[in-house]
Amino acid sequence: MARPIIHHRTAEFESIVEQIRADLKQIFQTSGEVLVLASSGTGAMEGAVSNTLCRGDRVLVVNSGKFGERWEKICGAFGIEVEEITVEWGRAVDPALIRQKLDKNPSIRAVLMQASETSTGIKNPTAKIAAITRERDDVILIVDGITAVGVFPLPFDELGIDVLVAGSQKAFMLPPGLSFAAMSTKAWEFNKTSDLPKFYFDFKAAAKSADKNTTPWTPAVSLVRGLSQVLKMFVGEGLENMHKRHAVFSSATRSAFEAMEMELFTKDEPSPALSVAVAPPDIGAGPLIKTLKEDFGITVAGGQDQAKGKIFRVSHIGYIDRSDTVAVVSAVEQSLKKLGHGFDFGSGAEAAARIISENL
């Protein structure tokens, strides 16, 4: 990525795009095109809406955390009517509720959800929900997979997802600036009748350019070159090993938190993308996060909205290996001890190291 910029309307750049297109299909597990956009993941989320729906359409949004709310705001900006399923933070949505909503209101045109809700750490049952929407020719499933693609199995074609978006700054190990979108045959049929405004995020234009191994607008050249190297690493490691790595690191970290006598915030199936713990109430998340940063140079995320000051979130995505995982756990232990939390010191690091050594 630090190499000199190359001209994007050249055979050299087109050859890079050609390889990226092939590799992204493997990662998304689709035979269709995976569009590459110069934007954050929210750009792909907006495009997923504007390229499939119409003014006045009604959609069902699963609000299981902060990023579920984003679907509502995007739809609202385009004049789309939103029906919401609100899920308790830390819980996954019950697919039966989605079936009930669709049966009760046949005017619903799309279900929008997060596969992995990073504000709470839960993994939503995408496969079960896709089985419901797959039965309906007049309903599409739009999935935010920004912290899911490359993290756990989410086979696009097999599950019957209709739109799946992702971003460069998560499992793809790159700086922010690229987003990705895959569209099913059903979604492309919806595209034909979509009347929402679109220009920069025109998926039809992006697909037409992709067929020529190029982009409709000036691409983020350095990030695209970085993506080509990341995808080579992914293909070399293999999807199964990638998914296993994330699963092991998240399992090790959660076990470590429990050994430190902390409550896990996620009550249903956790996302392997991160581990979320409730900080000891007498300490709070703020002092713990601050100590990790000042004493160890480690940055972890806090909670948002209702969870602010209560939880902290440790990521397992990106360029992270087993030594990083054990180091974070050890730093949390030392920080908690310094802040006065009583627990069996060393038990967390031991639990994490044991799970990693037994499974990787």
Q: Residue 353 belongs to a domain with what CATH number? A: 3.90.1150.10
Question: Does residue 207 lie in a domain region?
Answer: yes
Question: What pLDDT, on the 0 to 100 scale, is given for residue 205?
Answer: 98
DSSP code of 254? H
Question: What pLDDT, on the 0 to 100 scale, is given for residue 2?
Answer: 85
Do 221 and 275 sit in the same domain of this protein? no
Last residue of a domain, one of 167, 202, 237: 237
The parent domain of residue 320 ranges over 239-359
Do 120 and 251 sit in the same domain of this protein? no
Question: What pLDDT, on the 0 to 100 scale, is given for residue 162?
Answer: 98
Do 282 and 250 sit in the same domain of this protein? yes
Question: What pLDDT, on the 0 to 100 scale, is given for residue 1?
Answer: 87
Last residue of a domain, one of 237, 272, 292: 237
- Please count the structural domains in the chain: 2
Question: Does residue 319 lie in a domain region?
Answer: yes
Do 117 and 159 sit in the same domain of this protein? yes
37 φ, ψ to 5°? Answer: -115, 150
Do 226 and 243 sit in the same domain of this protein? no
Last residue of a domain, one of 212, 237, 262: 237
Residue 166: CA count within 13 A, CB half-sphere: 29
Residues 6+ apart with CB under 8 A from 324: none
Domain with residue 161: its CATH number is 3.40.640.10
Do 15 and 56 sit in the same domain of this protein? yes
Question: Does residue 4 lie in a domain region?
Answer: no
Question: What pLDDT, on the 0 to 100 scale, is given for residue 292?
Answer: 98
Do 298 and 231 sit in the same domain of this protein? no
Question: What pLDDT, on the 0 to 100 scale, is given for residue 157?
Answer: 98
Question: Does residue 322 lie in a domain region?
Answer: yes
Question: Does residue 310 lie in a domain region?
Answer: yes
Do 228 and 249 sit in the same domain of this protein? no
pLDDT tens, residue order, the chain (360 aa): 888 999 999 999 999 999 999 999 999 999 999 999 999 999 999 999 999 999 999 999 999 999 889 999 999 999 999 999 999 999 999 999 999 999 999 999 999 999 999 999 999 999 999 999 999 999 999 999 999 999 999 999 999 999 999 999 999 999 999 999 999 999 999 999 999 999 999 999 999 999 999 999 999 999 999 999 999 999 999 999 999 999 999 999 999 999 999 999 999 999 999 999 999 999 999 999 999 999 999 999 999 999 999 999 999 999 999 999 999 999 999 999 999 999 999 999 999 999 999 999
Whole-number Cα distances in Å, 212 to 4, 187, 229, 262, 357: 24, 22, 21, 53, 46
Question: Does residue 3 lie in a domain region?
Answer: no
Question: Does residue 1 lie in a domain region?
Answer: no
Question: Does residue 2 lie in a domain region?
Answer: no
Spell out a b/e string for 24-61, using b for 16 or more CB atoms within 10 Å of the CB, else e: bbebbbbebbbbbbbbbbbbbbbbbbbbbbeeebbbbb
Do 247 and 227 sit in the same domain of this protein? no
Closest CA to 360 of 247, 256, 271: 247
Question: What pLDDT, on the 0 to 100 scale, is given for residue 275?
Answer: 98
Do 151 and 197 sit in the same domain of this protein? yes
Do 107 and 168 sit in the same domain of this protein? yes
Do 25 and 159 sit in the same domain of this protein? yes
Closest CA to 130 of 121, 122, 139, 117: 139
Question: What pLDDT, on the 0 to 100 scale, is given for residue 46?
Answer: 98
